[in-house]
Amino acid sequence: MVDLKIIEVKSEIGAGTRGASLGVDAIKIAAHDFASKFFFKCDSVEVETENHLLYEPIRNPFARHIEGVHRVLSRVADTVTATIKDNKFPIVLAGDHSTAAGTIAGLKQAYPDKRLGIIWVDAHADLHSPFTTPSGNMHGMPLAMVLGEDNQEMRCNIPDDNTVNLWEKCKALTGKHGFVSHEDIVFIAVRDVEQQEITLMRKYKMRNFSVADVRKRGVEKVASEALTHLDKCDIIYVSFDVDSMDPKISSGTGTPVPNGINEREAGKLLQNLVSSPKVVCFEMVEVNPTLDKENLMAENAFEILVKVYNQIEND
Ligand SMILES: [Mn+2]
Residue pLDDT, tens place only, 206-232: 999 999 999 999 999 999 999 999 999
Separation of CA 66 and ligand 1 centre (Å):
17
Distances (CA, A) of 151 to 16, 89, 139, 199, 230: 22, 33, 17, 9, 23
In the chain, where are the structural domains located? 4-314
What spacing in Å lies between the alpha carbon of 114 and ligand 1's midpoint? 25
- For residue 8, how far is its CA from the centre of ligand 1 (angstroms)? 17
The CATH classification of domain 4-314, taken from the options 3.20.130.10, 3.40.50.11540, 3.40.800.10, 3.20.20.70: 3.40.800.10
Per-residue pLDDT at 117: 98
- What would the DSSP string read from start to end of 139-193? GG-HHHHHHT---GGG------HHHHHHHHHHHHHHHTT-PPPGGGEEEES----
Mean pLDDT value of segment 242-261 = 97
Instruction: Compute the distance from residue 185 Cα to the ligand 1 centre, in Å.
Output: 14
Q: What is the pLDDT of residue 79?
A: 98
Say how many Å lie between the CA of residue 241 and the centre of ligand 1: 5
Q: How far is the CA of 275 from the centre of ligand 1 (A)?
A: 22
Is this prediction's pTM over 0.95? Answer: yes
Note the pLDDT of residue 315: 81
Segment 296-312 mean pLDDT: 98
Pair 158, 214: CB distance under 8 Å: no
Q: Please, are residues 99 and 72 in contact by the beta-carbon 8 Å criterion? A: yes
Q: 125 CA distance to ligand 1 centroid (A)?
A: 7
Q: How far is the CA of 176 from the centre of ligand 1 (A)?
A: 24
Torsion of CA 271, 267, 121, 50, to 10 degrees: -100
How far, in Å, from the CA of 135 to the mean position of ligand 1? 14
Terminal CA-to-CA distance of the chain, rounded, Å? 7
Tell me which residue of 61, 203, 208, 202 sits closest to 124, measured CA to CA.
208
Cβ pair 207, 254 in contact under 8 A: no
Task: Please report the pLDDT score of residue 135 as a whole number.
Answer: 97
**What is the 127 CA–ligand 1 centroid distance (Å)?**
9
Q: How far apart are CA 314 and CA 310, in angstroms?
A: 6
Once rounded to an integer, what is the mean pLDDT over residues 40-48?
96
Mapped onto helix, strand or coil, the DSSP state of residue 46 is strand
Contact 152, 131 (CB under 8 A): yes
Look at 1 and 218; give whichever has higher pLDDT: 218
Whether residue 190 contacts residue 122, with contact meaning beta carbons closer than 8 Å, is answered with yes
The pocket of ion ligand 1, defined by CB under 5 A, consists of 97, 122, 124, 126, 241
Say what the pLDDT of residue 205 is.
97
Tell me the CA–centroid distance for residue 1 and ligand 1, in Å. Answer: 30
Output the CA 287–ligand 1 centroid distance in Å: 11
DSSP code for 261: B
Task: State the burial class of residue 73 (Cβ atoms within 10 Å of its Cβ: 0-12, 13-18, 19+).
Answer: buried
Categorize the per-residue pLDDT at 77 as very low, low, confident or very high, splitting at 50, 70 and 90. Answer: very high
Indicate the average pLDDT of the chain: 98
Q: How many Å lie between the centroid of ligand 1 and the Cα of residue 61?
A: 19
Centre of ligand 1 from the C-alpha of residue 97, in Å = 5
Integer Cα distance of 77 and 96 in angstroms: 15
The radius of gyration computed from the CA coordinates of the chain, to the nearest angstrom, equals: 18
Q: Identify the pLDDT of residue 26.
A: 98
Helices 263-274 and 296-314 cross at an angle (nearest 10°) of 20
**Ligand 1 centroid – CA 120 distance (Å):** 8
